[in-house]
């Protein structure tokens, strides 16, 4: 990757100039239009950018504070803006050969002590979330094992995902596994504790989806065991 920064006053764009010859404010205009149309939340868009399919995501706050500030974040410096941190982490993970979307551009808009942010990534072809796949039917033993193996690749590299859930695990038509949404993620010293915490968060997500989808096959202890077995085997192999 070849990293560049373009500055337009309080608006700053970090981008991969191997993918974009130029990155201006117009690149992120659809995010603003979507935010206005939806009233804020959920403005993730599929767009064409420089002839390639991309995903444009606007950053929002969650929880109670999100009701007040929505998409406003406290300015503490350029290097720790949510968008730049995620873009740089994705760049590192992509260069390591891990299955993540390629980062294209990140933009923050600063106004005094607050900023707003957006992230543009290459769109993964023909993928669907694990949550959607579960809603369509049972997932095979092999695929559960592959999901565990994929997570183990990240864990062996010290990659901590802040929100590992069934929506951020993506599968393509060949059952290849990808992870999305590394907002607030980071690389940290490898430790069993945070790895197990990551898995526990995913298990809660799967149970929640199963409970809210009475017509779906459901999520069982056996399926979780298949995932964990794949994870443990891949971790052990990485440590040899």
Residues 187 and 154 in one domain: yes
Residues in the chain, how many? 240
Domain final position from 104, 122, 140:
122
Helix (H) or strand (E) holding 203: helix 192-212
0.75 cut: is pTM over it?
Answer: yes
Domain final position from 122, 137, 152:
122
pLDDT at 5: 97
Q: Which stretches of the chain are assigned E, i.e. beta strand?
A: 3-8, 11-16, 44-49, 52-58, 73-74, 103-111, 114-122, 127-129, 159-160, 169-172, 177-179, 186-187
Domain final position from 75, 96, 122:
122
Give the least confident one: 17-21, 28-32, 113-117, 168-172: 28-32
pLDDT at 66: 46
Q: 32-55 pLDDT, tens per residue? A: 555 544 444 556 788 888 889 999
Contacts of 236 (CB under 8 A, 6+ apart): none
Four-CA torsion 37, 185, 150, 41, nearest 10 degrees: -10
Residues 97 and 139 in one domain: no
48/100: higher pLDDT: 100
Which amino acids are annotated catalytic? 163
């Amino acid at each position: 990757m070849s990293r560049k920064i373009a500055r337009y006053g309080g608006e700053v764009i970090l981008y991969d100039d191997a993918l974009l010859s130029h990155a201006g404010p117009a690149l992120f205009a659809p995010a603003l239009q979507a935010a206005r149309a939806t009233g804020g939340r959920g403005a993730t868009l599929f767009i064409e950018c420089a002839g390639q399919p991309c995903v444009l995501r606007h950053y929002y706050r969650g929880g109670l504070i999100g009701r007040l500030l929505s998409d406003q974040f406290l300015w503490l410096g350029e290097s720790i803006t949510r968008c730049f941190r995620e873009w740089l982490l994705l760049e590192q993970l992509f260069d390591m050969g891990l299955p993540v979307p390629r980062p294209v551009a990140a933009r923050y808009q600063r106004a005094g002590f607050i900023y707003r942010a957006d992230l543009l990534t290459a769109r993964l072809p023909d993928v669907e979330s694990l949550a959607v796949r579960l809603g369509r039917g049972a997932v095979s033993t092999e695929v559960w094992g592959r999901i565990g193996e994929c997570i183990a690749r990240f864990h062996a590299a010290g990659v901590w995902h802040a929100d590992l859930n069934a929506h951020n695990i993506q599968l393509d038509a060949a059952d290849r596994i990808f992870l999305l949404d590394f907002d607030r993620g980071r690389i940290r010293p490898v430790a069993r504790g945070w790895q197990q915490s990551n898995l526990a968060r995913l298990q809660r997500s799967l149970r929640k989806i199963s409970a809210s989808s009475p017509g779906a096959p459901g999520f069982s202890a056996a399926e979780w065991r298949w995932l964990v077995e794949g994870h443990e085997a891949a971790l052990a192999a990485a440590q040899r």
